[in-house]
């Protein structure tokens, strides 16, 4: 283990291998499977994907908790010029376009609107991309591009009503303080259909877990679209614009699209004929303990636990198998913080005799959406929710 301490950050190299690697197929790229931990401002040691712009992944063990600490929440920026200094006396949220008036809200103005709070899973569209086979380019996340956070802010609906949406509106766009280093790089602007934008539960959040947003998670305010992938949760939000036509700039089209069919998938290696913008999250569960490859003792009880969530419909049940899917047991569910939150699940297991065991977990949400046993493939590596499988050795 190489452990260097430089002036401002810690860089560690640890011999952790991804689940795919440990499950049999030797890693195709040794470098891709070697994880470096770095510590950035307001953050703890997180797994480095890229440094400029920063993309940092949360180590799995943080998911033993119902809420993900601010310092441990993953970081994902697209464009190199990210905000590193924000003066709240200058920052404004501008709302305009097809509205009755142009409005500029200060942070104080925003805080005067009704304050709402709820717990919601934030998950990157590409969470689990590194498990795709055949592999696809993009951020090579394992399972750590997600977290469960209590968000507080003003309803987007109230913010939009302050400007007054006019008839004939189609899409609402959201832009933040980040930008590309060259003018040729498309700015990160995302859009929601106007009906979606006016839903009660979408908020402009200025707090995470009761504290101001960290700079790397979108200080001073970000969009929270619970149930939908984080690509819409625009950080360091400054501009909201109401449009009378469909918005189809780069980050909405061709980027962040999924095949236009029920599974959001195509034959591995092929291209979809028709695509739609990625939207609601698929249902999934992740096994947190025991970890892949760990050694357990026969006859000694072990708690198999993890998290489960769905795109805004709550979790009905989680079933766990310790015999590679032959038999399934219903897991106990932990505290319910609402339909957008994840639940922790537990299954007490006493391995009867030594050997190799394959542990699996499968979640189902309240409208019957569940997880596939074979991975569903798409060229951008989105919607990963294959049934989790880990191997443990019992001695």
Partner 1 sequence: MKKLLFFSILAIALGSGSVYAQDKGAKDMVVTGNTKSITLPDIATPLKDGPGKEYVEGNCTICHSTDYINMQPKMPKAKWSATVKKMVKTFGCPVNDAEMKAIEDYLAANYGTGS
Can you give the binding site for partner 1, defined by CB under 8 A?
6-9, 11, 28-29, 31-32, 38-42, 44, 48-54, 70-71, 79-80, 84-90, 130, 135-137, 139-140, 180-186, 210-212, 215-216, 219-220, 250
Contact 3, 12 (CB under 8 A): yes
Q: How far is the CB of 209 from partner 1 (least distance, A)?
A: 8
Site for ligand HEC in 131-170 (CB under 6 A): 137-138
Contact 190, 174 (CB under 8 A): yes
Q: How far is the CB of 1 from ligand HEC (least distance, A)?
A: 28
User: Is there binding between residue 386 and ligand HEC (CB under 6 A)?
Assistant: no
Q: How far is the CB of 170 from ligand HEC (least distance, A)?
A: 26
Contact 76, 145 (CB under 8 A): yes
Q: One symbol per residue from 172 to 201: x for binding ligand HEC (CB under 6 A), - otherwise; what is it?
A: ----------x-xx----------------
Taking the least distance from each CB to ligand HEC, the nearer of 180 and 314 is 180
Alpha carbon separation from 241 to 1, 90, 102, 205, 367 (Å, rounded): 50, 20, 10, 18, 34
Q: In angstroms, rounded to a whole number, what is the distance separating the alpha carbons of residues 224 and 153?
A: 9
Taking the least distance from each CB to partner 1, the nearer of 170 and 185 is 185
Sign of torsion over alpha carbons 378, 383, 385, 391 = positive
Q: How far is the CB of 161 from ligand HEC (least distance, A)?
A: 33
Q: In angstroms, rounded to a whole number, what is the distance separating the alpha carbons of residues 264 and 277?
A: 11
Environment class of residue 268 by beta-carbon count within 10 Å: exposed (0-12), middle (13-18) or buried (19+)? Answer: middle
Alpha carbon separation from 97 to 78, 153, 178, 188, 202 (Å, rounded): 25, 23, 21, 18, 20
Residue 382, binding choice from ligand HEC, partner 1, none, Cβ under 5 to 8 Å by partner class: none
Give every CB contact of residue 56 below 8 A, 6+ residues apart in sequence: 38, 40, 43, 46, 47, 48, 49, 74, 75, 76, 216
Q: How far is the CB of 174 from ligand HEC (least distance, A)?
A: 17
Taking the least distance from each CB to ligand HEC, the nearer of 78 and 157 is 78
User: Is there binding between residue 24 and ligand HEC (CB under 6 A)?
Assistant: no
Give every CB contact of residue 241 below 8 A, 6+ residues apart in sequence: 95, 96, 97, 172, 173, 175
Taking the least distance from each CB to ligand HEC, the nearer of 27 and 138 is 138
Taking the least distance from each CB to partner 1, the nearer of 4 and 356 is 4
Residue 25, binding choice from partner 1, ligand HEC, none, Cβ under 5 to 8 Å by partner class: none
User: Is there binding between residue 257 and ligand HEC (CB under 6 A)?
Assistant: no
Across 204-225, b (16+ Cβ under 10 Å) vs e yields: bbbbbbeebbbbbbbbbbbbbb
Taking the least distance from each CB to ligand HEC, the nearer of 134 and 368 is 134
Residue 116, binding choice from partner 1, ligand HEC, none, Cβ under 5 to 8 Å by partner class: none
Taking the least distance from each CB to ligand HEC, the nearer of 5 and 182 is 182
């Amino acid at each position: 283990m190489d452990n260097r301490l430089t002036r401002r950050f810690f860089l560690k190299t640890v011999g952790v291998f991804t689940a795919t690697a440990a499950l049999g197929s030797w890693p195709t790229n040794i470098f891709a499977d070697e994880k470096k931990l770095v510590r950035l401002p307001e953050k703890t040691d997180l797994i480095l994907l890229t440094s400029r712009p920063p993309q940092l992944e949360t180590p799995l063990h943080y998911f033993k908790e119902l809420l993900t600490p601010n310092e441990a929440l993953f970081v994902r920026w697209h464009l190199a010029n990210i905000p590193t200094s924000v003066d709240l006396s200058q920052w404004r949220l501008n709302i305009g376009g097809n509205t009755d008036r142009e409005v500029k809200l200060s942070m104080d103005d925003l805080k005067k609107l009704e304050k709402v709070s709820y717990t919601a899973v934030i998950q990157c569209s590409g969470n689990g991309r590194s498990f795709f086979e055949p592999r696809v380019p993009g951020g090579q996340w394992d399972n750590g591009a997600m977290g469960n956070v209590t968000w507080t802010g003003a309803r987007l609906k109230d913010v939009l009503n302050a400007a007054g949406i006019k008839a004939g509106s189609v899409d609402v766009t959201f832009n933040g303080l980040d930008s590309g280093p060259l003018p040729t790089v498309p700015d990160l602007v995302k859009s929601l259909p106007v009906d979606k934008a006016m839903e009660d539960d979408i908020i402009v959040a200025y707090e995470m877990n009761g504290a101001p947003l960290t700079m790397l998670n979108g200080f001073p305010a970000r969009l929270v679209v619970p149930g939908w992938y984080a690509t819409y949760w625009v950080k360091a939000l400054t501009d909201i614009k109401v449009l009378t036509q469909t918005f189809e700039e780069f980050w909405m089209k061709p980027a962040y699209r999924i095949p236009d069919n029920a599974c959001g998938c195509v034959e591995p290696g092929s291209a979809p004929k028709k695509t739609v913008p990625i939207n609601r999250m698929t249902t999934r569960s992740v096994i947190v303990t025991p970890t892949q490859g760990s050694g357990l003792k026969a006859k000694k009880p072990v708690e198999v636990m993890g998290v489960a969530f769905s795109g805004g419909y709550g979790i009905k049940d989680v079933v766990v198998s310790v015999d590679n899917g032959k038999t399934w047991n219903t897991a106990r569910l932990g505290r319910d913080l609402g339909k957008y939150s994840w639940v922790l699940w537990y299954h007490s297991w006493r391995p009867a005799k030594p050997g190799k065991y394959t542990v699996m977990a499968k979640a189902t949400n309240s409208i019957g959406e569940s997880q596939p046993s074979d991975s569903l493939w798409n060229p951008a590596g989105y919607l990963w929710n294959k049934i989790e499988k880990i191997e443990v050795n019992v001695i």
